[in-house]
């Protein structure tokens, strides 16, 4: 494929097709501010290795990245504690919902992987380390801004506060894991870090820019700076492929065949190694909490570019 594909036309066509799609799924309603987002929104950003950027639809509108932040938090935490992190979090798909608690009982409070809520809460606990929550939150924000090369990225405090007020299941996960010794700080401090990271507000363009290191063996192709080692980038991509869509990860691999990470805000970050960093956003979700049209758009992108890993 390569030279003959017209990516700008493909991206524009997909956005037009998504604008006309009848079944858009339903926005998440368990985090109140997310329920108010217009389900007709759709954005897509495709950034190639050389920095060429193809945008369509609402690609510059910021949305709540939610669980996509788990990729950046994991990257940062691996930088802090290295492979010791894997003593506290596994690398297997859970086959369960993103917020499930059941496996923790038989598995001694060690979450299956860093992309389910329990695993990401452990990662947030690692990022908290010896800091105050606001310092850990500030570090994550600075990291994401540096990755994207964009200092305008912010955390939506209303979203973070809504989750602090309603996130009882996450509080249960944190407290339960604390009883096994796998959360080292009072649950509310760790959850403060986790909820603020989930409340990062980014556009498709900013998200695709931030994900560039994953398509380029760990180096940011914009700056040449090595963000993580080649091995770590490969492993993060492997986890995105196997665990990035929770109990829908198999279906995402089946339909799209790329490492991808979804969030309940309706965004998906997908990586075509050596080719492109892609972000899509449409707030309506499918039954497993992954963006309905975001997945469809990526499926069509891969069909037309031949970018599947398989
Ligand atoms: O903890 C939560 O429930 C949310 N902050 C994030 C969940 C999420 O994005 C799951 N994604 N599909």
- What are the backbone angles phi and psi of residue 126, rounded to the nearest 5°? -65, -45
Q: For position 3, what pLDDT does the model report? A: 54
Q: Where in the chain is the domain with CATH 3.40.710.10?
A: 2-61+204-220+238-305, 67-198
Ligand 1, from 34, 35, 67, 283: best to mutate by most atoms within 8 Å of Cβ? 67
pLDDT digits (tens, 9 = 90+) for 105-135: 999 999 999 999 999 999 999 999 999 999 9
Extended beta strands in 188-238, E state: 200-202
Cβ-contact 205, 60 below 8 angstroms: yes
pLDDT at 4: 78
- 31-73 pLDDT, tens per residue? 999 999 999 999 999 999 999 999 999 999 999 999 999 999 9
Q: Count other Cβ atoms within 10 Å, centred on residue 125.
A: 25
pLDDT of residue 1: 46
Q: Which pLDDT score, from 0 to 100, does residue 294 have?
A: 98
- The verdict on the CB of residue 264 being under 6 Å from ligand 1 is yes
Enter the pTM of the model.
0.97
Give ipTM to 2 decimals: 0.97
CATH number of 2-61+204-220+238-305: 3.40.710.10
Q: What secondary structure letter does DSSP report for 217?
A: T
- The residue ranges of the chain whose pLDDT is under 50 are 1-2
The Cα–Cα gap between 36 and 28 comes to 9
Q: Which CATH architecture has domain 67-198?
A: 3-Layer(aba) Sandwich (3.40)
- Tell me what pLDDT residue 227 has: 97
Residue 194 assigned as binding residue: yes
Angle, nearest 10°, between helix axes 187-198 and 133-148? 20
Which stretches of 207-307 are assigned E, i.e. beta strand? 260-262, 267-272, 276-281
Does 251 show up as a binding residue in the annotation? no
Q: According to the annotation, is 92 in a ligand binding site?
A: no
Tell me 152's DSSP state.
T
Question: Which residues does the annotation mark as catalytic?
Answer: 67, 70, 194, 246, 264
Q: How do residues 4-13 score in pLDDT, each as one tens digit?
A: 799 999 999 9
**pLDDT in the model for residue 238:** 98
Q: Answer yes or no: is the C-beta of 66 below 6 A from any ligand 1 atom.
A: yes
């Amino acid at each position: 494929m390569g030279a003959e594909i017209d990516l700008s036309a493909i991206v524009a066509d997909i956005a037009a097709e998504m604008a006309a799609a009848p079944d858009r799924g339903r926005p998440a309603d368990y985090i109140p501010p997310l329920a108010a987002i217009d389900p007709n929104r759709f954005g897509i950003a495709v950034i190639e290795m050389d920095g060429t950027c193809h945008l369509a639809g609402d690609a510059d509108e910021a949305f709540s990245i939610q669980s996509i932040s788990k990729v950046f938090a994991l990257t940062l935490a691996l930088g802090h504690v290295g492979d010791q992190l894997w003593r506290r979090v596994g690398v297997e798909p859970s086959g369960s919902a993103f917020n499930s608690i059941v496996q923790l009982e038989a598995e001694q409070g060690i979450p299956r992987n860093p992309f389910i809520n329990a695993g990401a809460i452990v990662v947030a606990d690692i990022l908290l380390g010896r800091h105050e929550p606001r310092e850990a939150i500030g570090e994550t924000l600075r990291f994401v801004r540096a990755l994207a090369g964009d200092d305008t990225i912010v955390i939506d405090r209303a979203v973070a506060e809504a989750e602090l007020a309603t996130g009882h299941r996450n509080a249960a996960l944190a407290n339960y894991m604390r009883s096994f010794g796998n959360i080292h700080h009072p649950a509310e401090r760790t959850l403060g870090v986790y909820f603020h990271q989930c409340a990062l507000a980014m556009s498709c363009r900013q998200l695709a820019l931030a994900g560039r290191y994953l398509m380029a063996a760990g180096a940011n192709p914009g700056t040449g700076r090595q963000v993580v080692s080649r091995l770590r980038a490969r492993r993060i991509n492997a986890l995105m492929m196997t665990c990035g869509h929770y109990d829908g990860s198999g279906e995402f691999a089946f339909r799209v065949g790329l490492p991808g990470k979804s969030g309940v805000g309706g965004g998906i970050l997908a990586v075509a190694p050596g080719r492109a960093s892609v972000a899509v956003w449409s707030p309506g979700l499918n039954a497993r909490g992954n963006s309905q049209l975001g997945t469809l758009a990526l499926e069509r992108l891969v069909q037309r570019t031949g970018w599947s890993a398989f």
